[in-house]
Structure 1
């Protein structure tokens, strides 16, 4: 298994106005994170202008969608926005996309967009990536695919630069090992080129915030009982050691955390980034 170097991202959304958002982006960069990532949904500000502001406020920080809900835009529109941001950030944008969480169905309806079947939504994700590649020409905007099921893992294996393993909240180590194996099998000769990513819902030993418990449908004790890979327990040394074990087990090297853990997780970033 190829061993990519560790890098880290923060999933965060704007609060307040431009100055506050720019300060957040600068802090993310200052702490050594590789990427500022933003989710997608009508309850939030639009990710593309938000990420443009974050990129302008920093010098080397990458920005990315984590992830676009495919049904909210036509493939051509998603590609157009992604290519534009790639150009304007001079290559510091990562195009993250997936088929959308179930909650996104209401957003699609509000936008007058069809939700479609799972297969139709995945085809639109594939078409969005094809359209982006067409617009890019000689440019190469890195693409991250959120992949959970076999077909999404197969798509990521064929076309993604990065694949985030979108496992259920209670999925344990063996589940992630199996997902990564499916991804590499689908990738074939390009398996070593794909960066495997995962998102952590909680880190450390404190109880999980109520909004996070509601989002994932589980409290900390339940996550611990299932060896959930969305939880990274312990102090900085223990968390770093566990991430090394996870990289050995299934190749994950690109790790993102929620913005509420920005400062708490920074010592782990300092220990592992680039190693």
Structure 2
């Protein structure tokens, strides 16, 4: 997942991602960043192979019909390389800045479901422009029951955020046991559907001194987690490229994750691991 910046920097990032062997270049959707859809159209112009995704669109920010129009147009202009990631939004400060109500989680998921319905209607409407892909691959990401239920029923790719929120709104990082439970919940809701499982890696550090790196991360946690606890987290990868490749294989075996995403800060680290996984 890469944040678009100026034209040259963005073009360079997209080309580098393709050269490193990434399969998808995805952009986030936050205020203070360039809008995702023009970023992906530019990315399509300067790359040849990678798929182009949103990770993820904050659906409650958008009128569903207008969002569907942008999605279809982007699929056309990327020649069918779009992968649409949708979420229900989670940062109250961004809703406040946009002058939009930050509704209860269930209401935000309701809006996400209406958005998915409207996209399907828009694509099926013969009077509207037709996308290259029908359907456009859909990723729905989150951690709560409602959104994972929706993902299990409607998405092609289920994204496990690896981060949840307590009732007071404070975030927490999911443990391996937390993810076991979330994955089992989704498997129980799939109803025989065949989907892909994605996970967002929270941190990836390549180092020959794993113990020292974990100690540094523990300091960033402010003592809330020990180095040993952080080393056991399924979305934190610390060690040599070979050790990280082994951890990714272990996560695939345990959770079924065949699709992993990283933040821009870990872009080059995963680039070193990719050849070990091919």
TM-score normalised to structure 1 length:
0.84
Distance 1:89 1:119 in 2: 33
* Offset at residue 219 of structure 1 (A): 7.8
136, 139, 147: which is aligned to 2:142?
147
118, 123, 127: which is aligned to 1:131?
118
The answer to whether the aligner puts 1:238 opposite 2:243 as a matched pair is yes
Distance 2:11 2:69 in 1: 24
Instruction: Provide structure 2 residue ranges, at least 5 long, that are not aligned to the other structure.
Output: 125-132, 164-171, 208-212
Distance 1:251 1:28 in 2: 24
Structure number with higher relative contact order (C-alpha < 8 Å, ≥ 6 residues apart): 1
Distance 2:53 2:37 in 1: 9
C-alpha contact 1:158 1:186 (8 A) present in aligned 2: yes
* Offset at residue 243 of structure 1 (A): 1.0
Distance 2:229 2:61 in 1: 36
How many pairs are equivalent?
254
- The change in CA–CA distance for 1:259 and 1:224 in structure 2 (over 3 A counts) is farther
99, 102, 120: which is aligned to 1:115?
102
Aligned to 2:151: 156
C-alpha contact 2:198 2:260 (8 A) present in aligned 1: yes
Instruction: Provide structure 1 residue ranges, at least 5 long, that are not aligned to the other structure.
Output: 1-10
Distance 1:98 1:218 in 2: 29
- The change in CA–CA distance for 1:173 and 1:120 in structure 2 (over 3 A counts) is same
The answer to whether the aligner puts 1:41 opposite 2:30 as a matched pair is yes
Please provide the CA RMSD for this pair: 2.4
Distance 2:54 2:222 in 1: 25
258, 268, 275: which is aligned to 1:263?
268
Question: 1:135-175: per-residue Cα shift (whole Å, max 9, x none)?
Answer: 22371111111121111111000000111112325322111
Aligned to 1:6: none
- Other structure's SS at 2:32 match: coil
TM-score normalised to structure 2 length:
0.84
Q: Over alpha carbons, which structure has the higher Rg? A: 2
